[in-house]
Structure 1
Amino acid sequence: MSNTTTYAVTGMSCGHCEKSVSSEISGLQGVTEVAADAKAGTVTVSSELPLDEAAVRAAVDEAGYELVGPTA
């Protein structure tokens, strides 16, 4: 079973930004897919395990951007 959540991220403006965020989040345990979209300001994360928002936030921070929170 896959858990998928889309988060709002501020500061992304280009493909390099998307790759940085995707790379950091991909390293989290259980993550199977990451799709960052700088234009929309979102990152969608799929995981085999329930997602830990604090871990996702820390990964986005490590990439140099700010996770605002899950989108509605």
Structure 2
Amino acid sequence: MAEKKIVVKGMSCGHCAGAVTKTLETTEGIRNVKVNLATGEVTYEEVNPVDAATISAKIKKAGYEVAG
């Protein structure tokens, strides 16, 4: 398992953090999602490889944007 980190733009409250957490935790191959609202950093464990484009698309569909 590899721990990954992304920065998500547009999160401003607990609801935002929950939406991003739920979006990632329902993605096959991802678990243990942690969101830091102050920095926008989201860390998670990849138990199976997940394409970065897939993650970005799911985050965008939830109403947020992956930085970079």
TM-score by length of 1: 0.85
CA displacement at 1:12 relative to structure 2: 0.5
Distance 2:62 2:32 in 1: 17
Residue 46 of structure 2: aligned partner: 47
Deviations 1:27-48 (A, max 9, x none): 1111121111111111112121
* Aligned-pair Cα RMSD in Å: 1.1
Deviations 1:1-59 (A, max 9, x none): x1211101111011110000010111111112111111111111212112311111112
Distance 1:58 1:49 in 2: 18
Q: Which runs of 5+ in 1 are unaligned?
A: none
Residue 23 of structure 2: aligned partner: 24
Distance 1:51 1:61 in 2: 16
Superposed structure 1 runs of 4+ greater than 2 Å apart:
none
Distance 1:25 1:43 in 2: 10
Q: Which runs of 5+ in 2 are unaligned?
A: none
Identical aligned residues as a percent: 34
SS of the aligned residue for 1:51 comes to: coil
Residue 60 of structure 1: aligned partner: 59
SS of the aligned residue for 1:20 comes to: helix
Distance 1:62 1:37 in 2: 20
